[in-house]
Amino acid sequence: MAQVLEFKLPDLGEGLTEAEIVRWLVEVGDVVAIDQPVVEVETAKAMVEVPCPYGGVVTARFGEEGTELPVGAPLLTVAVGAPEGSSGSGEDSGSAPESSGGSGNVLVGYGTGAPAARRRRIRPNRLDRPVTEAPVSAAPVVKAPVLEAPVVKVLVADASVSEGPVPVVSPLVRRLARQNDIDLRRLAGSGPDGLILRADVDRAIRTAEETATATARAPQAQAQAPVQAQAPAVAVAAAPNGVAAAVDAERIPLRGVRGAVADKLSRSRTEIPDATCWVDADATELMAVRAAMNAATGPSAGPKVSVLALLARICTAALARFPELNSTVDTEAREIVRLSGVHLGFAAQTERGLVVPVVRDAHARNAESIGAEIARLTELARTGKLSPAQLTGGTFTLNNYGVFGVDGSTPIINHPEAAMLGVGRIMPKPWVHQGELAVRQVVQLSLTFDHRVCDGGTAGGFLRYVADCVEQPAVLLRTL
């Protein structure tokens, strides 16, 4: 006999609470092995393949591609063989297959085992009850109702709808509905047991906007559709600062990387009292040193060294002199936590948005090693293969916005770090050199810092040291 087990979206780590289904790797009726990847999901930090801890036949999938699911929501169900001697009762079959049929390796590197302990009580009529009469081959019976794309309906509320709990698990779904004046009691959820998902609310918002458009084009039709009378109110309520939104305006959900960036930057601006100082530096000598490094032949030859790698090495040397900027603030304990190691983040623009990969133990690396790691992480960022672990844990960030052709900026600190060095474009400018006017390669450097961890004197000393190393790279020889 077989037991149908439910595999839920596991905790992906790093504080992530939801993920979007990008691509299903299996179909209903497919046979899967233990730890075989079954779905590719996109979180706010990375794209990951989720392996299934059970081996058997896929009987159902929950959610279409593009659907956003909260952690703990069902992903799919798998019919697995029951161990010999199983009584087939609900109490026995609910635990035996989990202990013997699953590997526990839900996501490599993020822990497992916990999902089994957090399983919610499932009602007897759910798909994970023992399959005592039908063989595994009968599993596709559930295929049709599960894979059909549900149509979210805006229902007219009555007395029965206004009573009882609303089937919503995610607080993000509730907030989205509240911000757009959507009555959740009027929605028919497309999730298991009528659970209302974010996709349901998004469709309801689009339905309301389309109705508003139709109402604007045909005012005489307003009396024929009760829902249409509410649509203009939804559009006005969703508009910021009381300005009515245009009926043809495009709405782009803040989720994935864009949502994570928005949340983090908002938190940084809210919590951190930041200040910025900047200085122009003559980078002519630094560019000459780099050219000499890359032109070396014979035994002294090596991989090409980028300007970003040299600036990163300068940052680690500066942080050794000014450790106050390699710290974070514990607001609950009201303590400044100075960190012993430098894990250097660098801003990278990708098709998915802005990401900040982290070079681990940058303080123990030379310019060549840092450059190789930056190149490796940059390639992973471009292909969307960075793991959450490679995007977190930074202690200081280097932001080379000069690649966008701009000279200066006042960057926002990457919370919970205490500082960020910004680098503008390096370009020829008139400069007084050795008492005479000359054309030199000039760059603007800016430092944004958390004023709680240090005063302006420390920040200015850090930035001046960085500028001195840029203008006279030989200064770095003291720390090599």
Active site residues: 451, 455
CA distance 276 to 419: 10
List Cα–Cα distances, 205 to 48, 119, 191, 221, 354, in angstroms.
29, 32, 18, 20, 28
Phi/psi at 14 (nearest 5 deg)? 60, 30
Torsion angle (degrees, nearest 10) of CA 396, 401, 406, 409: -30
Q: 462, 275 in Cβ contact below 8 A?
A: no
CA distance 284 to 449: 27
Please compute, for residue 244, the number of CA atoms within 13 A of its CA located in the half-sphere on the CB side.
8
DSSP string, 278-301: EEEEE-HHHHHHHHHHHH--GGG-
CA distance 9 to 172: 16
List Cα–Cα distances, 301 to 292, 296, 298, 311, 368, in angstroms.
10, 5, 5, 20, 11
Q: Which residues pair with 429 in a beta bridge?
A: 440
CA distance 87 to 85: 6
